[in-house]
Structure 1
Amino acid sequence: MAKQDFIPVILGTDINAYGMARSFHMEYGVTSRCIGKGRLFMTNFSDITTIKVVENLDEPDVFADALIAFANELKQEAEKLILIASSDSYAELVIRNQDKLAAHYELPFVAEKWIDELLYKDRFYALCEQYGLDFPATYIVTKENKDGVELPFGFPVALKPADSIAYLEASFEGKKKAYIIKEQAELERTLQAIYASSYAGKMIVQDFIPGDDSHMRVLNAYSDQTGKVRLMCLGRPLLEDCTPSLVGNYVAIVNEYNEDIYKQYQQFLEAIGYTGLANFDMKYDARDGKYKIFEINLRQGRSSFFTTGSGYNLAKFIVDNLVYGKHEAVVYAKTEHLWLGVPKEVALSYTEDKEAVTYMKQLIKEKKYCMTLQYDADKAIKRWWHVRKYYKSYEDRFKQFYEQKGNL
């Protein structure tokens, strides 16, 4: 039996993993091999994925050996294996083990020398300052100086961990992925709770940029192995997840074209020689007319299927480069499309920008929209039941947790 040109190997079994598996299947008809710590419904019972479970996969002394063993199982089936990460922790493990994995996998990831500068937000903001990327006014809190913090800017403020991977492991009452803090006493209480947990890293306090979710922007990029950017796709989020553990994740995005943003971030990525997938989150500040960066993810984002769904298949850019050795001119995505991570009714009901609601209705009427998990080529009954239940759960989540941001 002839070998396939490639097999995608995806770390994780969540919605991000499914989005990439769907991208590969849409373009090439291939089945992706997911490997993770457990089976999540997004990829379980699927016709376009298989799942291998390694319960302690995310442990550093297990990770590389497990992936090499998996590669040895697959090497008779394909000429190349492409490794994709669906979370920050998996991306970090790949990047820190590239010397071991490079002989077995094609790796669309940044070089290890950049990981600490990009992963830790306090160091990333220093890099932004060096390369002229705007970011919000920022104050760094440590476990040692957490008491009696005096901010150089007023409330409300945004609070988030500098080390999101270490923070993910911490457990305490009231934990959120990120916080909007309205007063000093609330800031002090929150910091006390965080530092009473296992988290000992820095916390980032930032001037809260006014405006609802529609002021956010998300940028997906792919850079080839020579450090040249090949794809940039900008989205305008209209609504964010309100689930406490998922705050900051987008659930409605429309594509947007902004050549200034494309050029600025292309210059940044090429200046540092970035390779692989990247995902930027930023927000428009109407007070000074600037787009201010929050973070970079060293992988495709959880909502990155909006790029594929709008006609710019992420998998194709990766495969063209890593499998077929193509080096095409950079593509600046320009299209009209809506991606949804919640039911249409939820997005239309809770999006605060009414002009955006009108635009969403137009795109829905024109059938220019998609949802990551709803794929006509993958409609196994058991999986479809779980997908419907998942999306429907957002009706209750928004009733319970939603908080307007436009008046902050």
Structure 2
Amino acid sequence: MAPYPTTVPFVPVILGAELAAYTLARAFHADFGVRASVVSRTVPYAVRGSAVLDHVACPGMDDDETLLTTLRGIADAHPGRRVLVLGIIDSWCTTLSRLAPRLDERFAVPYPDVDLMERLSDKEQFARLCGELGVAHPRTSFVPDTAGAQEAVGLLGDLRWPVVVKAADSVSFGTLLYAGKQKVAYCDSPAELTALRQQLAAAGYTGGLVVQERIPGGDDQMRVLTTYSDASGRVRWGRMGQVLLEDHDPMLIGNPLAVVHGEHPVATEQVRGLLEHVGWTGYANFDVKVDPRDDTGHVFELNPRLGRSHAYMSAAGHPFLVPMVREHVEGRDPLEDVEMGAETDDWLYSIVPVPLLMRYVTDDRVRTRLRRIRREGRVLRPLRYAADPGRDRRLAQLKNDVHYVRDFATHHRSPVTG
């Protein structure tokens, strides 16, 4: 029997089929004993052959009408069940929020109003809100697409080089495909910034840029924070993890690959204040970097979804999906009849093979901690799930591990932490 039975039968529907989709489907199965329907254009290895989910092919899912038809078809195939719809990237979350008024009463869409999502997902507006509320945030300037090269440098004011550069409009940037694309760019000089702007313009990006001072420190200075806010806008739950290793592939740079328990009470309380100030509802995911010079936790951005590394909460034994199901499926209080679990440091979530992780962790104290965690078997690998055996699943894990061995050999020939 599932540890968290529900009073209302439901089927989770997940848009997108990358690793995050599988770990979400796995969590739904582990906590509620339900099979998720994963909707994607193709069938990537992360979900292929899984025994705990149903794949629904929808090659034209970028079209609103096609997507709506597919969602209604899933609801028709599950009579008497609520349909809980989730996206694994920002653009799908925004799409679902926008289309929610066109879905009937069978559907639950656990996202805030689309206008609020777009405002808070805009890096420029988010940085300004942090400034207004006193939330620690990297020193930031904004460069509109209309600014000339000289004007752009002037807009940076007294920001110190090197700088971190991101697209202000992450949703439109995410749809672009071009050679040399980088999720985050680092520029050491005005000339490099000008060259980057020219590259983005040639690729079709018409938005502005967010330019921030680079906070020192390696991957292990990063934290990932996930919160849940109820329908009244009150933050009811949150957990932070300490990142040990990030992806350094230019297309995926900054994505956490290995996480253990972490905390930063000041940053957590600042995030709580921000979310309750704007009336956010549902999940929010934040990247936080702790400055080693003064221990300030700088909040980078708000993602309106469960982050790609959300399984760090499963690793710690937190049934992180239960508050959403309680509220949006059953109409109950998010934390009714659920114990979210105590804070603990005795676990590891790792997308990469643990021996590879050990090579890139240079802090002796962390290495000792990892050896203890590994010895005690407190490690969660996202593609290994006892209830989902089979040849395709073993191949998925093998493909994942081979990919990261090759990727690190290409992009990080020496340790990246320290």
* TM-score, normalization by structure 2: 0.90
Q: CA-to-partner distance for each residue in 1:168-226, whole Å, 9 max, x for gaps?
A: 22233321111222333322222211111111111111100000011111101112222
1:170 paired to 2:176: yes
Among candidates 2, 15, 25, match of residue 19 of structure 2: 15
Q: CA RMSD in A?
A: 2.1
Residue type of the partner of 2:130? Answer: C
Q: Identify unmatched segments of 5+ residues in structure 1.
A: none
| CA contact 1:80–1:106 (8 Å) conserved in 2 | yes
Residue type of the partner of 1:142? Answer: P
| CA contact 2:48–2:392 (8 Å) conserved in 1 | no
1:63 paired to 2:47: no
**Matched residue, 1:355:** 365
Q: CA-to-partner distance for each residue in 1:24-82, whole Å, 9 max, x for gaps?
A: 111122111111222111112100011111111123443334323332332x1x43111
CA distance in 2, matches of 1:102, 1:367: 45
- Tell me how far 1:374 sits from its aligned partner: 1.1
305-314 or 318-327, which deviates more: 318-327
1:107 paired to 2:109: yes
Matches within 5 A, 1:8-407: 8-74=12-78, 76=79, 78-101=80-103, 103-148=105-150, 149-150=152-153, 151=156, 152-324=158-330, 325-328=332-335, 334-336=343-345, 337-402=347-412
- Tell me how far 1:294 sits from its aligned partner: 1.0
Provide the secondary structure at the position in 2 that maps to 1:94: helix
**Matched residue, 2:3:** none
| CA contact 2:42–2:58 (8 Å) conserved in 1 | yes
| CA contact 1:220–1:232 (8 Å) conserved in 2 | yes
Provide the secondary structure at the position in 1 that maps to 2:130: helix
| CA contact 1:232–1:333 (8 Å) conserved in 2 | no
| CA contact 1:279–1:299 (8 Å) conserved in 2 | yes
Provide the secondary structure at the position in 1 that maps to 2:251: helix
CA distance in 1, matches of 2:341, 2:77: 38
Q: Relative to 1, partners in 2 of residues 1:274 and 1:137: Cα closer, same or farther, differing over 3 Å?
A: same
Query: Identity, % of aligned pairs?
Result: 29
CA distance in 2, matches of 1:266, 1:123: 18
55-64 or 271-280, which deviates more: 55-64
CA distance in 1, matches of 2:176, 2:342: 38
CA distance in 2, matches of 1:401, 1:216: 19
Provide the secondary structure at the position in 1 that maps to 2:317: coil
266-275 or 363-372, which deviates more: 266-275
- Tell me how far 1:332 sits from its aligned partner: 8.2
Residue type of the partner of 2:241? Answer: G
- Tell me how far 1:386 sits from its aligned partner: 2.5
| CA contact 1:352–1:406 (8 Å) conserved in 2 | yes
| CA contact 1:116–1:123 (8 Å) conserved in 2 | no
**Matched residue, 2:4:** none
Q: CA-to-partner distance for each residue in 1:153-174, whole Å, 9 max, x for gaps?
A: 2222111111122112223332
Q: CA-to-partner distance for each residue in 1:295-332, whole Å, 9 max, x for gaps?
A: 11101000011112211122222222223313438968
390-399 or 99-108, which deviates more: 99-108
CA distance in 2, matches of 1:206, 1:60: 35
CA distance in 1, matches of 2:38, 2:300: 30
Q: Identify unmatched segments of 5+ residues in structure 2.
A: 1-6
CA distance in 2, matches of 1:331, 1:268: 23
- Tell me how far 1:253 sits from its aligned partner: 0.6
CA distance in 2, matches of 1:61, 1:106: 18
* TM-score, normalization by structure 1: 0.93
CA distance in 2, matches of 1:373, 1:146: 47
Residue type of the partner of 2:189? Answer: E
Q: Relative to 1, partners in 2 of residues 1:273 and 1:322: Cα closer, same or farther, differing over 3 Å?
A: same
Structure 1: 4+ residue segments shifted above 4 A: 329-333, 403-407
- Tell me how far 1:279 sits from its aligned partner: 0.5
- Tell me how far 1:333 sits from its aligned partner: 5.4
Provide the secondary structure at the position in 2 that maps to 1:218: strand
Residue type of the partner of 1:343? Answer: P
143-152 or 9-18, which deviates more: 143-152
| CA contact 2:164–2:187 (8 Å) conserved in 1 | yes
| CA contact 2:324–2:334 (8 Å) conserved in 1 | no
Q: Relative to 1, partners in 2 of residues 1:127 and 1:59: Cα closer, same or farther, differing over 3 Å?
A: farther
Provide the secondary structure at the position in 2 that maps to 1:263: helix
Q: CA-to-partner distance for each residue in 1:329-369, whole Å, 9 max, x for gaps?
A: 89685112211010001111112434322222221112122
